[in-house]
Structure 1
């Protein structure tokens, strides 16, 4: 695959992207205490758009005023005031010719701070693995969550839909990404050891996807022509090496169901996007998504640093490659690569002890 391919345009439903390079969603904690986007965030996103990325995914945004908030100083879109605060961010991105999708994230049992509730919520009352992340001001074990009732589940689904409407009609985002990955609420329902339910929300891997599919249906119902995609993973922030026990059969069921449900794209994230997804297998999760998602565009994320990495991932079947740490280190990665300039290696000193970018990097 030629290097030029990555700089060709690509359409996701109604949205035309200037190239195949995206900034992965990276949850920062730079909002106000009550969840309003700030000028620091305008500067953060503007750099990526100015640097040549065709698509930006927002950090995880909490959708409701119930159990969804995950971190202190995380931005929300749970009311019109929060939605209005995102408008300068979206405008700054559009000024430089890039597009931006709002990633809606419900933290569920992994919530470390919530200004609306003092309890957490999960599919089952199971203690989450690991400990809270100090990077996001967490301390000690996660609490055991409340087991979600049918009313709680209905509220969560409705919250995603209402947040999507605000993101598209008030904030001006170009599309929506549903965060179904990395151990948060939708992934908790999707994972066998956190979902012990015997009702319609539990069961085998396809049945455990039911909440993600219900959220997708709800968000699509308010999105009009705007694209609605889903992010999916094996690993989690609190269980990095987790793998689907159903292996390729599970991948077939999951990617087929997402395609059948009308996902505008599927965003696959792995530690190294081009590596085999399962022990004893040869195919990456990207390749499996390409095989079973029936023509749905695939975005792939995972340890892409150099142009050669991006080419490798596209050869696996990705239509768009999303960069995380490499984008933090090189917010102008596309422009640098196009101009054959050297790339800066990611260093955690780019970040403060808390998960937001140093002020001098935003100047």
Structure 2
């Protein structure tokens, strides 16, 4: 059972702005503007980041915190084409190039670990593997493969022993992240992927200690978070959630109770909790009241890549968030911090280049200096 206990308080002598520094877990951030995680599907051979990946993140190192694109903690955790992993020595070495370049620019970067669970397709996996999930419930969703979009399949239901192995995979990938030079790890408990599937009342139909009741449905998320916290330290561990998010066929009965229960079962002194809003500001406010640690808010995004606006920096000054995260704004504006401080102008993101491809729509967005 995950221990109960108080979370590390965030104490402010006066209400900060988004441009003020912050202490989040063990990290000193130069400002309170975070780059939200965004899958870009540009990994190279062996599901490794490339030199372009390093350039992409280093360009955005003025962010107080960079959260990487989703990184699979195991082979079976992959759900999309050309996404990177952190489960091989080759991947660790390639990510070290990325983190070194970000740190050389004075940035802070954490690895987001995401197991896609039932979202994916056997065509993406080797050796006859199929996607896994809390229950053998097929998602009403499609996955893009090399042969085009294909329907999701009925996933393999994880046995209790396989759940333990999956938790170990997350902890191992977290240790790999630190070996690769990351400043910490964010666990992806949102957007309909494996951790979120265990929280869900339609993807999780188990009758054992991981299902049937709200307390049981939060158990996997709590145990993964605990395992990673023990592996690398709680103050280098964050968790992302998206309450009441129905993405990729997810249902949450009574999300208010679900997330209040989850907070009660998380380990103490986590670096932060990261909320990807889907229009439920009331749940964000509830979490803010209950959660005593650092809170990152990605305001009301609609996928893909989020639609938070420059005005959303106000969630810091209003006291709702300690850090505000931006998706597509950071994608299209490598110098977003400077542009927000100046009040613009802002590049428009090219949605046609969000996923896959080369440097176009990736590392070629101009800075203010380049545009004059």
Normalised to the residue count of structure 1, the TM-score between the two structures is 0.87
Aligned partners of 1:122 and 1:116: how far apart in 2? 18
Instruction: Determine if the alignment matches structure 1 residue 346 to structure 2 residue 349.
Output: yes
Partner of 1:190: 199
Cα distance, 1:346 vs structure 2: 2.9
Residue 73 of structure 1: how far off its partner (Å): 1.4
Q: Conserved in 2, the CA contact under 8 Å of 1:286 and 1:298? A: no
Contact 2:187 2:239 in 1 (8 A): yes
User: Is 2:185 aligned against 1:176?
Assistant: yes
The yes-or-no answer on 1:315 pairing with 2:325 is: no
Two-structure CA RMSD over aligned residues (Å) = 2.3
| Aligned counterpart in structure 2 of residue 329 of structure 1, from 332, 351, 366 | 332
1:62-81 matches, cutoff 5 A: 62-65=72-75, 67-81=76-90
Partner of 1:292: 290
Aligned to 1:127: 138
Q: Which runs of 5+ in 1 are unaligned?
A: 278-282
Aligned length: 342
Verify the 8 A CA contact 1:186 1:211 in the aligned structure 2: yes
The structure showing larger relative contact order (alpha-carbon pairs under 8 Å, at least 6 residues apart) is: 2
Correspondence 1:23 to 2:35? yes
Q: How far 1:162 sits from its partner (Å)? A: 0.7
Aligned twin of 1:257: 265
Distance 1:211 1:54, change over 3 A: same
Cα 1:314–1:257 shift into 2, 3 Å:
farther
| Secondary structure class of the residue paired with 1:6 | coil
Are 1:216 and 2:213 an aligned pair? no
Contact 1:174 1:226 in 2 (8 A): no
Deviations 1:145-181 (A, max 9, x none): 011111211111000111111110x201001101111
User: 1:355: Cα distance to partner?
Assistant: 4.0
The residue that corresponds to 1:82 in the other structure is 91
Q: Does 1:10 align with 2:22?
A: yes
2: CA distance between counterparts of 1:68 and 1:157?
12
Q: Is the alpha carbon distance of 1:187 and 1:171 closer, same or farther for their aligned partners in structure 2, counting shifts above 3 Å?
A: same
Instruction: Assess, with a 3 A threshold, how the Cα gap between structure 1 residues 138 and 324 changes in structure 2: closer, same or farther.
Output: farther
User: 2:15, 2:317 within 8 Å by CA — same for their partners in 1?
Assistant: no
CA separation in 2, counterparts of 1:119 and 1:58?
26
- 2:276 corresponding residue in structure 1: 269
Distance 1:101 1:116 in 2: 31
Q: Deviations over 1:267-296 (max 9, x none)?
A: 11023xxx4x2xxxxx53321211111x11
What does residue 160 of structure 2 align with? 150
Which sections of structure 2, spanning at least 5 residues, go unmatched? 1-13, 302-306, 365-372
Name the CA distance, whole Å, in 2 between partners of 1:59 and 1:356. 16
